[in-house]
Amino acid sequence: MPNALNQIYMMGAVMLVLVIVHAVCNTFVDYRGHMMGAMMESDMRGELFEHYQKLSFRFYDEQKTGQLMTRITNDSFALSELFHHGPEDIVISLLNFVGAFIILIKINVELTLLVFLFLPIMAVYAFYFNKKMKRAMRKSKDRIGDINAQIEDTLSGIRVVKSFTNEKTEKKKFAYENSRFVDSRRDEYKSEAYFYEGMMVFIQLMTIAVIIFGGVGIVNASLDLADLLTFLLYIGILIEPIKRFSNFTRLYQEGITGFDRFMEVLEVEPDIQDAADAIELRHVQGNVEFKDVSFKYKDDYDYVLKNISLDIKVGEYIALVGSSGVGKTTLCSLIPRFYEINEGKILLDGRNIRDISLGSLRRNIGIVQQDVYLFAGTVSDNIRYGKLDASKEEIIEAAKKANAHDFIMELPDGYDTDIGQRGVKLSGGQKQRLSIARVFLKNPPVIIFDEATSALDNESEKAVQDSLEKLTDNRTTVVIAHRLSTVRNAQRIFVLTDNGIDEQGTHEELIALGGAYANLYNVQLKI
Ligand code: ADP
Ligand code: MG
């Protein structure tokens, strides 16, 4: 019978085509779905990174880098799986479930109702263990963050660890975090196992109930055997979506706990932002004025600065002296608005810095600090940080002004020498001169030196001092220094004490006054 054979071949061909279509579609969904998840994850990560850069000093004072890194890497990862499989799991299990319900109810109404009696009980069970699961997952995500924070802390301080031979202590600290993580995982897996196995038990109970109820029905002759067997066969298609949904729940909790951690930071409003009508400053002269400024780091802390008033004229070179911890660094970090002041106002060229856009305010202020931060990369990369579009010549010129050119030329690859993470391959004085070259390139009208030479040996100090003086030409300069030799040349010296600015004047005037400054000076002369 060629006709029948033809039909069989036809069927075979159709099935073959279907298999191919199925495989192609599945591959597409799998590949595109995962890519979609990855892209959504990448977008979220980008958004969080951008947000991190907006958050203020106050935020970072309280945070651990390791935790922040975990939020941006680990926590967003679980989300991409959820984004991809979540919709698919929900749609497929819902469709299957409704389909199964229709088929079952057509076979036998009573048995179907019996089966559906289990559902509310299962829902309550699932809800309870899901809550537990969520709590446990959240905890283990926090703990992974703690582990990363611990690693970050130890590795950043690895040189200190080794010099104190405190490897054992660090290992203990790490072991503690590590074991706390295992504990949280234990809770997580326990509730997961209870949840999943519980659901399986309910599914089996469902089948047993159908067999018993159906068996009784057969004995009473209210049900025929064929119906019961068909029903039992089809109950499998109801079980499948329930299992799928249980799997989805885990995925969901994993993703949503990550999402919560993610959103927690994303929802932090940067506490220092541009005002709605912030102005862009174009040509800054460099007049800096403090009017009755009071500041404390946190609301429940004491004031660090109280009623500070000072007026620094355009191009003036002033020095700020005072004992350690009195608030000199704090005062300087208020000018670029790293922290928001509590009372009073700070003016740049007569404008309240709160009305100036942060970008244009900070572009006009250069800061050289005692601990220099250099980025991993080459010497020229780091100098270029002061002006991203600087030419090679400009970089060299800045390096020359900063007395850095000579030592750079002696490095193995000159300007292309890799300086290691945080510039570990350079000496303190060299790092400081690079940071000054960076500010030369930036060329701001206001400059702050915060103990820039305090940690240096005499020779480097002289080189740095020399380049500092070049930098101060025609700029408003605030110098904080321990060594009074550095401040002698200042046009005005302000002495900061716990009571505010106690004395001000030139070196000679303050010596003649015989107050706090004269005391500091005499003490240093004796050493
Ligand atoms: P100085 O530079 O004069 O040595 P600082 O301005 O660094 O002093 O510090 C002034 C005071 O403010 C100190 O008592 C210090 O403990 C406190 N302080 C400094 N930075 C912070 C901060 N980020 N958070 C809370 N308190 C701080
Ligand atoms: Mg300081």
Q: What CA–CA distance (Å, rounded) separates 111 from 209?
A: 9
Q: Read off the pTM.
A: 0.86
Give the mean model confidence (pLDDT) for residues 59-82: 89
Domain range summary for the chain, segments of one domain joined by +: 2-266, 288-526
Query: Is residue 448 in contact with ligand 1, taking CB distance under 6 Å?
Result: no
How many angstroms separate the alpha carbon of residue 298 from the centre of ligand 1?
11
Residue ranges with CB less than 5 Å from ion ligand 2: 329
For 169-201, the pLDDT digits (tens) are 999 999 999 999 999 999 999 999 999 999 999
- Of 19-23, 142-146, 203-207, 239-243, the one with minimum mean pLDDT is 239-243
For the chain, give the mean pLDDT: 90
How many A from CA of 111 to the centre of ligand 1?
74
Distances (CA, A) of 416 to 133, 379, 391, 395, 434: 53, 6, 14, 12, 13
Sign of CA dihedral 165, 166, 168, 171: negative
Residue with tokens 């072991």: 175
Say whether pLDDT at 514 is over 90.
no
The pLDDT of residue 463 is above 80: no
Token readout for 521 is 């000076």
- 366-389 pLDDT, tens digit each: 999 888 899 999 999 999 999 999
Residue whose entry in the numeric block shows the structure tokens 């991809």? 84
Residue 326 Cα distances to 255, 271, 308, 486, 488, angstroms: 47, 25, 13, 19, 20
Dist. CA 329 → ligand 1 center (Å)? 7
Sequence-separated (6 or more) residues with CB below 8 Å from residue 58 = 271, 272, 297, 298, 339, 340
Smallest-distance ligand from the CA of 450: 2
CATH number of 288-526: 3.40.50.300
- Three-state SS across 189-229? HHHHHHHHHHHHHHHHHHHHHHHHHHHHHHHCCCCCHHHHH
The pLDDT score that the predictor gives to residue 184 is: 93
Residue whose Cα lies nearest atom 5 of ligand 1: it is 327
Same fold across 2-266 and 288-526: no
| Highest averaged pLDDT of the listed ranges 89-98, 376-385, 456-465, 486-495 | 376-385
pLDDT, tens only, 1-35: 678 899 999 999 999 999 999 999 989 988 988 88
The confidence score (pLDDT) of residue 1 equals: 63
First to last CA, the chain: 117
Which residue's alpha carbon is at the smallest distance from atom 22 of ligand 1?
A: 297
Q: Could you say which ligand is closest to the alpha carbon of residue 333?
A: 1
Cα–Cα distance, 130 to 140 (Å, whole number) = 15
Query: Tokens for 38?
Result: 């990855």
Q: Residue 406: CB partners within 8 Å, gap ≥ 6?
A: none
Exposure on the CB side of residue 460, measured as CA atoms within 13 A: 18
Q: What is the SS3 assignment for 368?
A: strand
2-266, CATH topology level: ABC transporter transmembrane region fold (1.20.1560)
Question: Which residue(s) pair with 369 in the sheet?
Answer: 450
Question: Is residue 371 within 6 Å of ligand 1 at its C-beta?
Answer: no
369 close to ligand 1 (CB < 6 Angstrom): no
How many Cα atoms sit within 13 Å of 229 on the Cβ side? 3
Span from the CA of 39 to the centroid of ligand 1 (angstroms): 43
Q: In the structure, what pLDDT confidence band is assigned to residue 280 with cuts at 50, 70 and 90? A: very high
Ligand 2 centroid–CA 524 distance in Å is 18
Q: Looking at ligand 1, which atom is closest to the CA of residue 57?
A: 23
- The top-scoring range by mean pLDDT among 241-245, 370-374, 388-392, 457-461 is 388-392
Q: Cβ distance 386 to 438 under 8 Å?
A: yes
Q: Atom 10 in ligand 1: which residue has the minimum CA distance?
A: 327
Could you tell me which residues are beta bridge partners of residue 476? 446
If DSSP codes are grouped into helix, strand and coil, which group holds residue 155?
helix
Any atom of ligand 1 within 6 Å of the Cβ of 197: no
Q: How far is the CA of 372 from the centre of ligand 2 (A)?
A: 13
Query: How many Cβ atoms are within 10 Å of 123's Cβ, its own excluded?
Result: 10
Ligand 1 and 324: CB distance under 6 A: yes
pLDDT, one tens digit per residue, over 401-418 is: 888 999 999 999 999 999
pLDDT > 90: what percent of the chain?
Answer: 59
Ligand nearest to the CA of 63: 1
Alpha-carbon distance 239 to 253, whole Å?
21
DSSP secondary structure letters along 454-512:
TTS-HHHHHHHHHHHHHHHTTSEEEEE-SSHHHHTT-SEEEEEETTEEEEEE-HHHHHH
Choose which residue among 320, 329, 454 to substitute to test ligand 1 binding: the one with the highest number of ligand atoms within 8 A of its C-beta: 329
